[in-house]
Amino acid sequence: MTPNRAALALFVLLFLPTLAAGAPEGKIVIAQGVDPTTLDPQWHEETPAYNVLLNVYDTLLFRDKDLKLIPWLAESWRLVNPTTWEFKIRKGVKFHNGEEVDADAVKFSLDRIRDPELKARQSVYFRLVTSVEVVDKHTVRVLTSRPYPTLENHLALRGAIMPPGHFRGKDKVFADRNPVGSGPYKFVRWVKDEQIELEANPGWWGGAPKIKTIVFRPIPEHAVRVAALQAGEIDVAVNIPPHLVQIIEKHPKLYISKAPSVRTIFIPIYAYQYDTANKPVGPVEGPTRDKRVRQALLAAVNVDEIIRTVLEGNAVHTATPLTPKHFGFDPTFTPMKVDVARARKLLADAGFPQGIDLTLNSPDGRYQKDKEVAEAVAGQLTKAGIRTRVRTHEWTTYLSQYVYPHKANPMYLIGWGNTTWDADGTIGALFRTGTPQSNYHNPDFDGLIDEAQTSIDPRHRQELYARAQRMIVDDGAVLPLYQQVDIYGVHKRLSFQALSSEQLVGAWMSLRNGK
């Protein structure tokens, strides 16, 4: 571990015990737009699930409020050689069921995530890991086939550590319904589509949380979330639409908390068809198999107008699915200018002088005004001769029946909050051949991603990611839209800070006067 990381470790050891003093008390209710699709910590890639599960499970590393990597279950870590990472596990930590957190538990958890039988959605981030070795009771080494400089970033988000005695030999369904971790909160119950209840873990290694009970409720409709906040039924409401901000600001018992988000909103466009095993089948059937049609889609959309009229300025137009804070972001690559005449010409050149009919799939209630944004995009496309119908879906159905099985063609609106803060967690995860959400196939692009993922030269990695981003935009594989500004409505009885990571960390919240 570098001197800076050693200092961080000391800081965390001194700071964490002060997170809470005294017994946990009180209850808060947090309203997200949707319910998690699963509570298996390794079988999802969605913020609503992460926000629940990061309170139940610990990862080896974490990020502080300023997004810096800090020790978590691993009290220190170092790169032994270019392909070997070593982690020293914190001593005396127990899982909620009494099992000890040790190197065996870490090995079990990281082996589980790589198990081909499980088909964990997070496994793509661990494909370079060849083995996990127990050195001693509190030391583990992770070996990779090639240098993997971003592994530490992934382990600050993914690879939740799970108790072997509780989960060994059990399937995903069991893990989905019986969460047991070592985090600051214990799982109590999940009433699907109604609420998830967590209770404070007073023996958490970081100090007992200040709040005793946290309840997560799914409320898809923006106005209903705000009404519940006004009525005192909930304490935090995520994704407040801009037109309702003033209502909250004028309320005597409420306040607004904002942060520029890790999340970008964009529209992947199908160029290639995959099967449900994430294997490429061939060019997609339909107009978007033609690159010129995909380019016409990009040329027809006026993102700045959508930001101004639909989001009331609460977003930042992006040229790619990365934010300026992500490593790999290329500031010289500016957003494409709207050019309806060019869009029509591209359609004609592709053999569609009379235009085409397409469907844009979208969630409803997952992101800030997602349905309204999709409808605005569809309206602009239609004016350019791309007659577009919006089809909205409930979130769980959207992911399980359309996005993940590669059946959301020809295009779909999605948000991606990459809290590894590295392009690898977005560009590679979404567009490289064989990944769960890719609908693009380009060996040259794959080569850039693979080289960037294993290079230990930051400047070279930056150049590779810049080329990769230009490639997917030039090929029309994605229609970039904007970086979201996260807006939370909060009851004044709660001390709460919006984080750019979008994470809801119960251990960092407290009730004013403990009530």
For the chain, domains (ranges, CATH) are 3-218+493-514 (3.40.190.10), 261-485 (3.10.105.10)
Residue type, 93: V
More confident residue, 12 or 433: 433
pLDDT at 31: 98
- Distance between CA 116 and CA 130 in Å, rounded? 13
Inform me whether the pLDDT recorded for 307 exceeds 80.
yes
Interatomic CA distance for residues 130 and 12, integer angstroms: 31
Mean pLDDT within 374-398: 97
20 — pLDDT class (breaks 50, 70, 90): very low
Q: What are the helix and strand counts (H, E) for the chain?
A: 16, 22
**DSSP code string of 347-370:** HHHTT-TT-EEEEEEEESSSSTTH
Q: What Rg, from alpha-carbon coordinates, does the chain have? A: 23
The helix (H) or strand (E) run that includes residue 191 is strand 185-191
For residues 81 and 16, which has the higher predicted lDDT (pLDDT)? 81
Query: What value does the mean pLDDT take over residues 292-315?
Result: 97
**pTM of the full predicted structure?**
0.83
Q: What is the pLDDT of residue 118?
A: 86
What confidence tens digit (pLDDT) does each residue in 342-377 have? 999 999 999 999 999 999 999 998 999 999 999 999
Over residues 39-72, the pLDDT tens digits come to 999 999 899 999 999 999 999 999 999 899 999 9
Q: What is the mean pLDDT of the chain?
A: 94
* pLDDT tens digit sequence for 199-250: 999 999 999 999 999 999 999 999 999 999 999 999 999 999 999 999 999 9
CA-to-CA dists, residue 187 to 33, 75, 181, 269, angstroms: 20, 25, 9, 38
Report how far apart the first and last C-alpha atoms of the chain are (Å, whole number): 41
pLDDT of residue 515: 56
